[in-house]
Amino acid sequence: MQVKSEAKQVEVGGQQDPIPLTEIKISPLNPRYESATNVDGLAADVDDRGLLQPIILRAAEGGGYEVIIGSRRFRAILAKRGPDGFLQPDEFTLEDWNDQFAIGAAVAENDCREPLSPVDEGRFLNRIAGRDPTLTDTHLANLTGIGSRPRVNDLRHLASHFGQLPESWQVFLQVPHGDRPGDKPGISLTHYKVVRAYVGENGVEPWMRELMDKAAAGLWSVDQLKKAINDATLGDPKEPKAPAKEAQKPAAPAYNRLLKLLESATKACGTDADLADLVAKLADHVREKVAAKAAEANAAGSKVD
């Protein structure tokens, strides 16, 4: 990733003083800002050998400092020394980096470390977007190098709706890429894309939640998950049941037709990234409308029964 900005180290006259750990926080621009990665092993290593690489800090708005690079090292030191401890002068470097450069440096450094989980990537993207609402998913993809625009959109949606997912899915989606329990694929971002239309502001319907729990327990492939959803909506007696097919008929066929047109329009946008991003956002909105209409129809059908 290329970042068009120059970084310079903060000029600190004479010898730098130790910094109280209470004056340091992890920057929201750090990909591991919300990561729950265990640092016990690293804390023991730091205690034995010290830091092999300094932590990169910059001045924080409102006073104090924030960690741009080295969040795991900082957490390890905090765990070992406690909140009353200090970061010694040879353990940190102060930089005067703007947001764009800080994001690029943090992502580049993170690529050399333990991978992030899908939900951590999504939260990272949402934090950046929250600081600058003008950034589209295409801008975020180019800025962070995390993936294509559709992947960035899926990660952001996952992070925004993570708390509504069954716990069985949350366990997998908090695991770093390439480190799934039992060395098996488990539930991935691709699985989430399959059920995304069924995850709305009101959570996940009971029939879908039951199906998702079965998928996690059985380590289903994406194809197995797609088939199970299709069977549930069309009437396979072996799978958890979606509400009756008759109750789903009023589920806004016009919205479905519009959704298909928008999905086709995305491909027709060509190299116009901003237009593609706008069409994709509209498609997401319509997709949520389809799910909402289906939920309303299902509820109406249940009352009739």
Mean pLDDT of 218-230: 92
Rounded CA-CA distance 21/78 in Å is 7
Q: How confident is the model at residue 65 (pLDDT cuts 50, 70, 90)?
A: very high
User: For residue 94, what are the β-bridge partners?
Assistant: 57
pLDDT of 193 > 90? The answer is yes
Give the length of the chain: 305
What is the tens place of the pLDDT at every residue in 164-191?
Answer: 999 999 999 988 765 444 445 689 999 9
Tell me which of 97, 114, 131 is where a domain ends.
114
Predicted local distance difference test score (pLDDT) of residue 247: 44
- Which two three-digit tokens encode residue 9? 């180290």
Q: Are residues 143 and 282 in the same domain?
A: yes
Q: Determine, yes or no, domain membership for 224.
A: yes
**Distances from the Cα of 82 to the Cα of 34, 78, 99, angstroms:** 19, 5, 29
Q: Which position has the higher pLDDT, 243 or 78?
A: 78
Q: Determine, yes or no, domain membership for 169.
A: yes
Q: Determine, yes or no, domain membership for 242.
A: yes
Q: Are residues 52 and 148 in the same domain?
A: no
Other residues' Cβ atoms within 10 Å of the Cβ of residue 225: 22
What's the total number of domains in the chain?
2
Q: Determine, yes or no, domain membership for 276.
A: yes
Element (H, E) at 145: none
Q: Are residues 157 and 207 in the same domain?
A: yes
User: For residue 17, what are the β-bridge partners?
Assistant: none
Q: How confident is the model at residue 8 (pLDDT cuts 50, 70, 90)?
A: very low
- The three-state secondary structure class of 182 is helix
Rounded CA-CA distance 228/16 in Å is 61
Q: Determine, yes or no, domain membership for 121.
A: no
Q: Name the pairing type of β-strands 55-59 and 24-26.
A: unpaired
Rounded CA-CA distance 18/21 in Å is 9
- The three-state secondary structure class of 179 is coil
Q: Are residues 57 and 166 in the same domain?
A: no
Q: Determine, yes or no, domain membership for 3.
A: no
**Distances from the Cα of 30 to the Cα of 104, 148, 170, angstroms:** 10, 20, 22
Q: Are residues 43 and 170 in the same domain?
A: no
Mean pLDDT of 52-61: 88
pLDDT of 9 > 50? The answer is no
Mean pLDDT of 92-114: 82
Q: Determine, yes or no, domain membership for 164.
A: yes
Cα distance between the two ends of the chain: 57
> What single-letter DSSP state applies at residue 162?
G
For residues 53 and 45, the answer to whether their CB atoms sit within 8 Å is: no
Mean pLDDT of 208-218: 94
Rounded CA-CA distance 248/297 in Å is 6
- Non-local (6+) Cβ contacts of 231 within 8 A are 238, 239
Q: How confident is the model at residue 5 (pLDDT cuts 50, 70, 90)?
A: very low
- Non-local (6+) Cβ contacts of 24 within 8 A are 57, 64, 65, 66, 67, 74, 87
Rounded CA-CA distance 33/126 in Å is 12
Q: Are residues 173 and 95 in the same domain?
A: no
| Nearest partner of 187 among 204, 205, 203, 167, judged by Cα | 167
Mean pLDDT of 205-226: 93
pLDDT of 60 > 50? The answer is yes
For residues 290 and 256, the answer to whether their CB atoms sit within 8 Å is: yes
Q: Are residues 55 and 143 in the same domain?
A: no
Rounded CA-CA distance 251/243 in Å is 12
The whole domain housing 239 covers: 139-304
Q: Are residues 87 and 161 in the same domain?
A: no
**Distances from the Cα of 14 to the Cα of 9, 41, 89, angstroms:** 14, 35, 12
Q: How confident is the model at residue 2 (pLDDT cuts 50, 70, 90)?
A: very low
